[in-house]
Structure 1
Amino acid sequence: MFLKSITIKGFKSFADRVKVDFEPAITGIIGPNGSGKSNISDAIRWVLGEQSAKTLRGGKMEDVIFAGSGKRRALGLAEVTLTLDNRDGALPIDYKEVTVGRRVTRSGESDYLINNNSCRLKEIKELFMDTGIGKDAYSIIGQGKVEAILSENSVDRRELFEEAAGISKHKSRKEEAKKKLDSTEQKLQRIKDIIHEIQRQVEPLEKESKKAREYQEYRSELKELEVNLLANMYLELEEKLDQDITSKQRLSYQLTEAKSAVSEYDLRIDKEKERLEELTVDSDQQKDNIFEAKSSVERIENKLNLAKQQQNNILEQKNRLENEISRLEDRITLNKEEISKKDDKEIELVEKIKEKSLLLDEKNRGLDNLSKQLEEKFKVKKSFQDNQLNQITKINRQQHQLETASRDIKRYQEDIAALEELKESLNIEVDKALEKMENKKSRLEEIKDRINDYHSKHNREKSNNNQLQSHLSSLRDEYEEIKDSLNTKRSRLKVLEGMEENYEGYYRGVKNLFKYIEESAQIEGVCGVIAELINTPQEYETAIEVSLGSTLQNVVVEDDQVAKEAIEYLKTSKGGRATFLPLNLISSRSLNQQELSALNVEGAIGVAKDLISYDSKYRNVIENLLGRVVIARDIDAAVKISRVADKRVKVVTLGGDVVNPGGAMTGGSRNQNNNLLGRSREIGVLSSEVKKLATQLKEREELGLKVKESLVESEDRLVKLEDRIHQLELEEANYLKDYQQTNKEVERLRSELADKDSNIKRINQEILRVESESKELSQALSRLNNDDSSIKEKVIELEAEIKKLEEKKDLYTNESTELKVTIAALKQERGSLSEELASKERAIAYAKDEINSKKEEINRLGDKDRQLIFRKQELEKEKEEMSKEVVRLKNLLDEFRIEISEIKDKIKSYQQESKDIRARYERLQKEYNKVEIDVAQLQVKLENIQSKLQEEYELSIEQASADIKKIADHKKVEREINSLKRSMKRLEPVNLGAIEEYETLSKRFNFLQEQHQDLVESKESLEEVIKEIEDEMKEKFLETFNQVKAEFEKIFTDLFEGGQAQLALEDEDNLLETGIEINAQPPGKKLQKLSLMSGGEKALTATALIFSLLKVNPSPFYVLDELDAPLDDANVDRFANYLNQLSKIAQFIVITHRKGTMAAANALYGVTMQESGVSQLLSLKVDEVGEYEK
């Protein structure tokens, strides 16, 4: 591992960002005094966690931030980053390169970073622990470190040895263990104090607990006697009640008969009145029907008039369409005539092309003939010259050559002229072809634009189609999901409704009673069970259900008479038992003022009756059952509420736990299978959700149909667009084919032009050659002209003839070229004519399509006309029927009026008979009321017994009667009860909570004793760990001291070039705290203490010790801040040489101004202040140092 670089920004005098790259061996940092070079050492110390502003040569930590200069404002942030090479894994982190950073702001915010991740100072210390690197380690050595070595306090030197021994981590572990030990001892003391306090509380609480248990035993026995007595009294009163109910039933029967008779007459009267009302309504309805029928006749007549108007409109539309068809047929005829004319023109052009082609062939044949004649003339001339050459071989040969050259030149010149004319003709053809290509290119681009436009429309429509398909798929998924949810909820609702209809979960008596009422409707005035008559928020369901208990199934009835009828039915049918709550007998119950104050306790929610909703009709019943029940958040709150209310109210928690009047508590797990309150609520919720889901399902179905319709329309549009694109692509292909053919023709013509240019160039070169040869031959022939004049004349004559033939040949060539141009023009004209013919054909096809469309429209209008004729016939028939209906309704109205008169007479007769029966009914009612009062009084007594059982013991009469013991002497039992109450009174006051408090305190006492034992064992374990750490520290320290001692003796001798030195422990028996003495004997002096040496000797001795520590436990890098300052030049050279040796095992960053040390550096950086107050960094070469220092 080595230090790769440091980056500084805003730290002390380094206002600008500065990066120093360090060499693996020695890097020197130099600069004038006050330039800020030591600030680099401070930056390294600071980033490694230095917290002392004084150590960093400042007053407070804010001083490390650049404070500004004459030209620069102060900065708000200081930041330093070290980059270390960790490829050897020296640092315990899985990175090959590690960066450590620190930032501080003027507001005091400070950040530490490892690899740009925020961390704590502790993590940085642990990262470098025992590596020799750190703010206090000997890896950063300045004058302060030298002073520590040279200090008279020998203990100061010990820290360097501890760091070299690598026991910093052990010291840290020891400190942590000591802190834990101190904490453990404090905890032990606190637990001892708590145990003592609890012991003081347990004894009196144990007595109170025993007293409370005795009180509970009395109360239990009292409960058993009172419950049994109340149950016996209840059964006796119930038997007397049955006798009174029998008498009441007899009177009730007689009353029922009288009431029945009255009811029968009332029914007759009501029936006749209903009939009278019905007839009156029917009569009024008939009047409305007559009016409606007449209105219908008028509406039918209006529809007939509308149908006639629509027929007239159809006739007009058919006439208009037939006129348009006629116009289109005329247009087709006109286009066909024009096509016929164009066809004639095309035939004429074909004939002309054929005629010109024949002339061209004739001219080509003439050209061939002239070429042959010329060839014959040349042969004659050659033959003549051969004869001359036979006489004078040399002259004839020269003459022949001259004539040949002259002929070639002329022929070449003629060829050039012919080629030039042909080029002109070809250029004209190229221009025409290019113009044609341009027109086709323009049309192609137009077609491509249209194709691209249609493709864009197609893509948009395709995207729309895909979206519609995706939407449809999504709707289908939603439909199936909603459908599944709906089916699930319907099934659950059906199950719950089935349970409700079958009264599942209700007692047998309740279930049989309601089934009987549903089947026969013989008992009137049954309002329902309590569970059905209240609405409970879900959060309070458990609390309300526990509060009501079995009374949830109590049956609320209008009065006690209904209750008696229901009880009689259950007895006679042996259908079980049920408890009834007559509205005319039940009185409300509520909390008194003192008990209401319990609602102010934290955790109190409210009185149970106020947390539910119900019809005001049942207020007394609900307040009777729940008026003295308080709902609490939890069991702790419930206990507090019970105490405040003097244990006279029932408190129920949201979880279903109960604190009963008197203080008894009931709790634990509950069976949730028979949740009558929740079932009703769930049925309501499910009914609402089923309706909502059904609506959503219908909406998704309707939306799906709309999306399907849109999808079909989109697919139709896609097909049309694809057809149009296909037509345009065919048209594009045809134009492209024509364009490519024309382009090939242009290329061919251009190639031919290039050939002609090449031929002209070649012929001109040949003319130059031949002219040169001719000149030489002419000079030779001029000498022989006098002797050869006759031959010359003959040659001239032949040349004249040849010339005439060549001129004639040129004429034929020109005529042939003109014919070719004419033929090309005729062919072009024919092409244009063909395109016009195609356009006319397309116009005819379009017109035919329009005619077909119009004919289809006419057929559709015909169908509509026939439908209207049929509709008119139906309307005429309907009008006739409605007229008949008006007559029928008027007759029926007369019949209603007669029947109404008859019914009014019947009603008067029934009313008189009913009056007589009512007088008899009133006499029976008075007798019945007397018996009913007796029954009510018995029922109140029974209800009081039930209430007492419920309030004091939370028992229903059924539960109290389950283990009943027959009592012969009520007075005796009452005496026993009074005796028990006196015994309980003697024990009062009783703290019933003492039982629980004693058990809780006992458990806590036992727990604390266990905790005390654990802490004692933990303390012993920590003391053992501290001893082991100290033993290991002693061993490592002594081992390192001996190694450093040996190295120091050797290095001292090397640096002083003689002499000797020793290290000694001040107290060998106290290795953890002992100081270290240095005794040295420089060459030529006596052995003496360090304090007696000169300044230079001290500095060199301190250097020897530092180098000794380095060799024993080398740090990856060292920062030496002007360590060589006190040394003379000779010692500086020895210092530099030794530094070079050590650079093989460690990296050195040396801050110096000594040349000997600079010369040892592998790289040099100069620190300067070109701008006042701002340090800058320069990279230097060794030979630049002298100039730089100046």
Structure 2
Amino acid sequence: MLYSNKFYNKTGRWYELYLKSLEIQGFKSFPEKTKLTFEKQITAIVGPNGSGKSNISDAILWVMGEQSTRTLRGGKMEDVIFGGTLKRPQVGFAEVSLILDNTDRAFDLDYTEVMITRRYYRSGESEYFINRQLVRLKDLGELFMDTGLGREGYSIIGQGRIDAILSAKSTDRREIFEEAAGISRFRHRKEESERKLERTDENLVRINDKISELALQVEPLKEQAETARKYLLFRDELRGLEISVWMDSLENLQAQSSKAEADFHSVLEQKNTISGEIDAYYENAQSSSEQMHEKDVALDGIRQAISGYEAQSAELDSATAVLKTKLENNIGESDRIGRELGEQEGRDGGIKAQIDERKQRIDEITSEKQLLADKAGLYFQEQQTLADAAGESSKKLGELVGSENMLLSGVGDAKARLSALASTAQEMYDRESSVALEAAAAAEKHAALEGEAVACAEDLKRVNEELTSLKNVVSGYTMRMESRRKRAEEAGDKKMKLTMEINSLRSRISLLTEMERDYQGYSKAVKLVMQEAQRGILKNIHGTAAGLIKTDDKYTVAIETALGGATQNIIVDTEEDGKEAINYLKRHDGGRATFLPVSTIRGMVLDTRGLAGEAGYEGLAINLVRYNDKYAGIYKSLLGKVVIADNLDNAIRIARKNRNSFRIVTLDGQVLNAGGSMTGGSASGNAGILSRANELKQLAGQEKILEETMLRVEREYNDAVREKNAAEYELETSGAEIRAIEDKALKLETNSKHFQLLLEASAENLGLLKTEAAGLKDRISANMGETEKVRADIAGFENRLSDIRSEIARYTEGQGALASERDRLTSAMSELRALEASYDAERDALQKAVSELSELRRVLTGGRQQQLDFLEELKVKREEIQGEISANEAALGRLSEQIDSLKAQAAVITSERLELEAERNRRDKAMQDKNHRLLELERECARLEQKKLTAELEEKQIIDRLWDTYEISRTAAMSVRQDIKSMTEARRRIAELKREITALGNPNIGAIEEFDRVNTRYTYLTDQRDDVEKAKGELQEIIRDITHEMRLLFARKFEVICQSFKETFLEFFGGGQASLELEDPNDILNCGIEIKVQPPGKSLKTITLLSGGEKAFVAIALYFAILKVRPTPFVVMDEIEAALDETNVLRFADNMRKMSDKTQMIVITHHRGTMEEADVLYGVTMQEQGVSRVISLDLAEAEKTLKKEA
């Protein structure tokens, strides 16, 4: 059978699409992952009642987006998740995947397969996926729209959907017709447009309300804004005049203080000159000491260099001896390789001969395969001829079999009708005799029902009392749960606050770490050098002077102050490293930096033996820091002569006692310089660079403490949550018991009402039995006449069957001969294919051998070349060794010359150091006179500075008045100052402006901005109203166009479905007539649809007047008629033929087979006739209570196996 599963999708083309497989996990009775694979055949799913077979159709409906728990046969959506059994726990989620073949791109997705997945968790969270990509439910609905699939489609038909077709309300039938007519997407667009129109109307009402409200504010605000603007003009003029008058006064005060300031600067200049000379002396003295120290260091360096050169000379002697040994080994290796190259010449020829022999055999095999191909072509032509003959015979045989089946169907229908008539007659005879017995039994049943009704009322009273008691218990559980919930919330809040504190701390750590990493606080040059050192561009850079030491928090400010600008000095290995860094800064315009070479700087430490007992003495700065010993010289030079004192008073006392001979720094950063000068006040610009490291250390300790606290808080939180969950479980368990008792009470109440109805029906039944007996005799007579007519029809059918069966036997015999010849040709073709396969195998083996031999030959050739290359390398290496020996001998000569030169330099440096020491002694005496003169000048400076401060105080009063009145600084006042020609006129205008401002009262300055805001808003809303009204008109036009298109499309499709229903009804019922009618042709998009049918031998009726079996059969016929007009990719039918008798089941199955060439059929059934028509059977069992399992059987394959065994 040629499979033609095509449907007409929303793009207007026909596409092929079918269901490949279904995967279920955790859904209803399927806790384990279960996969069902579907082919392009009829698949039947069977199993006993309660085994869970209908859960498969529920799974397909659910994965396509169904939201109604009632449709899914549940109370709430959580019911779709496997709830557990006595042996299995419940699972946390349900997941179903639907895999569809999309090779023909039926869905507008670039995949050959489309997997639709839905997952639902017990928490209520729901997820949808298309090919494992998370999507919305809306996206899923749009994908399925107008395909017949989806939650609103008709691809899944169960008893509920059949009931909808049979519904007494004709309007309830519209949904399936609209989907079949293909107007679902139009209705979706129309409803979406109507929702937009509704929102547009709401927006329009809201905008008009706002416009009316703003219109009342615009005019009053306009008047207030004009008054406010006048006030601002007066205020600005007054401000300009007053500021100008005050600024003139300031100039006069500045003139009065200028002379005092000039005298002060003159004396100060003299003082600074002498102070500079004194500072220069101390700097020179320090420089002289440092120069002497440098001479000492230089002498030590020369001595170390001489020792190093002597060691290098010894190393060169040893290296030369090693090189001579390597030269001898090189010569021996060259001789060995030369011998091996001669041995490899003979092997290459033998391998080439083997390759040629195998290539010749490959050519022979190619020729033999061509002969086989020619012979296979002849066999194929013969097979085609036989196939054509067999096709003609099969076609004729098929026509005969079809005729036979039609006659058999007619005979079966007639016999079924005859059997039904006989059965009906017997039933009527039996019924006539039993009417009297039923009347007597009705009275007895009435009395029994009265007793049961009384017992039910007593049970209901007892259950209500039990329910009241349990509700009191639940009330206690509720109070406990609330208490524990509150405790859990408090613990959660505590945990959240602690988390925020930890995050804040970590943010601070991260900030400080980033500042350290980025060298924030350092100069541009320092940053550039350190960053390039980290990148490896600059070598032997150790770090900054501040970055390589540590100290206690107590001394951080003092050490930073003592270092001063040296905090940004960079420590390097040698002068050459510092030189390289300086050149780099010059090339890149990076600024200037100071470099401290470890190899050069050797600092000195102050002798503190006389300071240890002094009050306020904290220690020598070099002793209060921690650093690597290799930097000792550098830090001694920076901090070795700096004393740390606790406060400024003690520092002054220590300085005086020691004649200001060294530098003192206090813990808060005040400085007494050598010579007596003082520096103090606020912290220096470099403060904080050293303290960052200390703060990071403190923060790390705090972080550890908070993390330990967090562990304890988390334990408390988890305990509280666990107790809350336990209380919730108690409450939930009790709630379940209450629901069970409430269900029991509801059931008892329902039963009580049911008994009352039964009592009323029992009395009515007696009257009905009498009426029924009167009509039985007439019906028996009519039955006998119809029986004779049916018997005559059966005889005619059987005569025609005999003739057709003779023709079938003749064609069947001819097909047997054709099959034998076809089998002979098939066997011959199989032999040719086997021989061809053997040739292919031999050819592949030969080709592999040729490839391997060629590779071996290539390897041998490559190995010989490698040895030649290695021989050449040995020669080059030998020459290099000889060169190194010569270079070492030359270097030994140079080292001897350098040692002699260094000894001469040492003698010169010793002489220079003696001269520096004599010069320092001469300068010490000259400085005593300069210190006395400096003290006199400092006293004169203090007198002149006081005079200058008096003038500045008066200036400050005017400046304060500027700020207090207008909040303007002196600098800003200069920019608004006006030229005043007459000071008297200016003061008169100031008084006049103050009167005008007083007359205006208290204007609303905010009215200016408020008027601009309200007026802008008013204009904006007016424009927006016009835009919304325009959009409303466009939406109304769209809705009219969609409605018109829907009417045209539905009218055309409905007519086609009507015709299809008439034809399908005839096929199902073997006669009669049927029709579909619109209740209101003028409102075809909303009116009900009436179904009218006339089964054979009966009068025309609406579907609601038919028997139960007839209703179901009519609904199935209508469903098949719709599928003929608009087939869906696949159909799942869930026991829709349950109400049919065996004859109609066979008709249903036969029509299902006919429809299977258009639509993939999946049927859930327990009817034997339906099962027999299936190609594949899936069995659903429940060996473990509450757990469904699936087994499969391919009936076609099973039938082939049975034939072979027979």
Give me the TM-score of the superposition, normalised by structure 2.
0.45
Which has the larger Rg? 1
